[in-house]
Amino acid sequence: MLKEVSLIACEDTRRTRGLLAHFDIHTPTVSYFEHNKLVRGPQLLTTLEEGRSVALVTDAGTPGISDPGFMLVREARTRGIAVVPVPGAAALTAALSAAGIPADRFVFDGFLPVKPGKRLNRLKALRALETTVVLYESPHRIVAALGAIREVFGELELVLARELTKQFEEIVRATASAHLARLAAGPIRGEFVLVIPAGR
């Protein structure tokens, strides 16, 4: 697919170029990410309306899941432009498949709120659902998120997955306190997925 399209819109062109070089793909690339989506989105839509094809890729995971790609997809559909999904890695499903936690029923809630009070309230609402919960978290907010999870869910074992499908992937099942102790031992890097078993 990446060989056949006219243009590749990337979350980070440097990272995607590594993939393209590995497979000897020379399709032109352009950046499309959170901070340029309002400017670059219309440009990509114009390209599509001219009859050219565009592939949308992220650094890892699937475009449109906790990612600004949904805006481009929505506007393309509004304009009658076909959107074709290409199956690939998604941190959400990768974490669930390796967590060893029941996933016949689960809720994905993206990133928790930044403000402490709202974060606690969201976690309390999620616990009340009595199902497996999957969350994304950034490296600079993971400690606060784990502290809030410990406060709401107690010391149950949850899975903390980092850098899924990437070179430094790790998946660890432990209590929130144990995860916090591990993170305190060194610099915190990478994107995280949290898988929390059904609240008790």
Q: How confident is the model over 24-49, as pLDDT tens digits?
A: 999 999 999 889 989 999 999 999 99
Which pLDDT band, with edges at 50, 70 and 90, does 199 fall under?
Answer: low
Structure confidence at residue 200 (pLDDT): 55
pTM value > 0.85: no
Side by side, which strands form the sheet with 157-162? Answer: 106-111, 132-137, 192-196, 157-162, 170-175
Do the Cβ atoms of 158 and 180 come closer than 8 Å? no
Burial code (b: 16+ CB inside 10 Å, e: under 16) for 40-70 equals bbeebbebbeeeebbbbbbebbbbbbbbbbe
How remote is the C-alpha of 183 from its chain's centroid? 20
Partners of residue 110 on adjacent β-strands:
none
For residue range 143-156, what is the model confidence (pLDDT) as tens digits? 999 999 999 999 99
Q: Domains in the chain, please, with CATH?
A: 7-78 (3.40.1010.10), 91-196 (3.30.950.10)
Determine phi and psi for 112, rounding to 5 degrees.
-70, 155
Whether residue 180 has pLDDT greater than 70:
yes
- The rounded distance, in Å, linking the Cα atoms of 191 and 40 is 24
For residue range 59-106, what is the model confidence (pLDDT) as tens digits? 877 887 877 888 899 999 999 999 998 877 788 999 999 999 999 999
Do the Cβ atoms of 182 and 172 come closer than 8 Å? yes
Structure confidence at residue 167 (pLDDT): 81
- The rounded distance, in Å, linking the Cα atoms of 165 and 68 is 20
